[in-house]
Amino acid sequence: MAYRTHLDDLWEQQIRPDGRTPHELRNITCQMGIFHPQASGSASFNIGNTKVMAAVYGPHEVRSSQKKHHNPDKMIINCEYSSATFSSNERKSSTKADRKSMEISSNLRSVMEHIIIPDIFPGSQIDVYVELLQDDGGSYSACINAATLALVDAGIPIRDYAVAITATMSHSVCMVDINAQERGQCAELTIGVLAQSNEIIVLELANLLQNFYLKDVLDEGIKGCAAIYKILEEAVRQKFNKMEQSLV
């Protein structure tokens, strides 16, 4: 029990088990164009030990399987999320898509449909593929950030960045960016916002959260999203500055 007391001591000074303060994010690295030139756009987003890669293919011709139901004035946005068999601590024994990943795929598609300018390429299809390599908490939010970066990298016109982060309330303190260790003990609310308008676009809740706390947790999450947005934008600027220089 000595170990727990040690953590409790830390918590009294508002230090989380991994040494962060409640409002601190884990270390974030992101990279664009990792699958250049095969994919039209690609990006990786690592937050702490959570690692996600995303690739965007298109816009290209609609694939024959979907042509039947397709309205030629519309654009198809296709998303597929998959998690590697080694991504979690407990090994997954099959590569087949389960209900959980199908849910994430369809949620991701609805987010992408909102940020991509609608029907700007009529009669075409955009594929967004997201692969989770390692899960250490906040994987869904990392997927959204990676997919946004990959869209930017592919040069697909978007209205706004979708950025996401997890937040929670524990011991009446709001915390941002929950890792896998903390996830077991408290609720985990994934919040995604459109970066410019601050409108909420993603909400997913795991475990129970007092309704009373929702406002505070949302505020905390939106603050976290703003921090992520800064990092994403910095990555984009860096990449396109480099491109500009190489053109000159």
Partner 1 sequence: MKPKTIANCTRSLVKGGAKNGIRLGARGIHEFRTAKISFGNSVGSCEAVLLPGTRVFAQASAAIGEPSDSRPGEGAFTISVWVSPAATGEMVGSSEKPSAIARTLERMFKENRAVDLESLCIKFGELAWILRVDVHVIEMNGCLQDTAALAVLGALLTFQRPQAEIDVNTDELVVLPLAECTPVELHLFHLPAVMSFALCDEILLAEPCQEEEDILPGKLLVGINDSKELCHLHLTHPIEQELLLEATKLAQAQCLDRLNMLKGLVEEVKTQREVPIYKRPQGPRATGTVLSLSALETSSRNRSEKKPSIKYLSPLITASDINMLEELCIL
Partner 2 sequence: MAEVLLSEEEKYYLVLGVAQDIRVDGRSRLDYRSGDVEVNTVTNSHGSVRIRLAETDVIVAAKVDLGVPKTETPNQGIIKFLVDCSPTASPDFEGRGGDQLAETICRILSSTYAKSSSINLKSLCIVPKEFCYIVDVDILVLQCGGNLLDVIAMGVKACLGTCEIPRASGTRYDLGKPVPVFSKDEFQFDYLDVSKAPVIVTLPRVGRYFVVDATLEEESCSKGKLAIGVAPDGSITSVDKLGKACYQVRSIAASVQMAAKVGVDVNKVLSDRINKLKLSKLHSAKPWPPKPEEGMDVE
Q: Kindly list the residues in this chain that would bind partner 2 in the complex (CB under 8 A).
A: 18-20, 24-28, 35, 37-39, 42, 46, 48-49, 51, 53-55, 57, 63, 78, 80, 82, 84-89, 91, 93, 95-97, 127, 129-131, 133-134, 136, 179, 227
C-beta of 35 vs 81, nearer to partner 1:
81
With beta carbons less than 8 A apart as the criterion, state whether 176 and 189 touch.
Answer: no
Closest CA to 167 of 137, 143, 194, 145: 137
- Closer to partner 2 by CB, 42 or 201: give it: 42
Among partner 2, partner 1, none, residue 55 binds (CB under 5-8 Å by kind)? partner 2
Pairing state between β 76-83 and 188-194: unpaired
Q: How far apart are CA 7 and CA 34, in angstroms?
A: 39
Binding mask 186-225 for partner 1 (x = CB under 8 A): -x-x----x--xxxxxxxxxxxxxxxx-xx--x---x---
State the nearest-atom distance from the C-beta of 100 to partner 1, in Å: 7
Q: What angle do CA 25, 17, 12 make, to 5 degrees?
A: 100
List the single partner that 86 binds among partner 1, partner 2, none, CB under 5 to 8 Å by kind. Answer: partner 2
Tokens 């198809």 found at: 76
Angle between the N-to-C axes of helices 139-154 and 214-247, in degrees from 0 to 180, rounded to the nearest 10 = 30
Binding site partner of 204, from partner 2, partner 1, none, Cβ cut-off 5-8 A by kind: partner 1
**Size of interface with partner 1, in residues (CB under 8 A):** 32
Rounded-to-integer distance, Cα 157 and Cα 150, Å = 12
Q: Tell me the two tokens of residue 240.
A: 């396109």
Give me the residues paired with residue 158 across strands.
116
User: Is residue 191 within 8 Å of residue 209, measured between CB atoms?
Assistant: no
Within 94-153, the residues that bind partner 1 by CB under 8 A are 99-100, 102-103, 106, 110, 114
Q: Which is nearer to partner 2, 116 or 201 (CB)?
A: 116
Strand 200-206 and strand 188-194: pairing? antiparallel
Residues that bind partner 1 (CB under 8 A): 69, 90, 99-100, 102-103, 106, 110, 114, 187, 189, 194, 197-212, 214-215, 218, 222
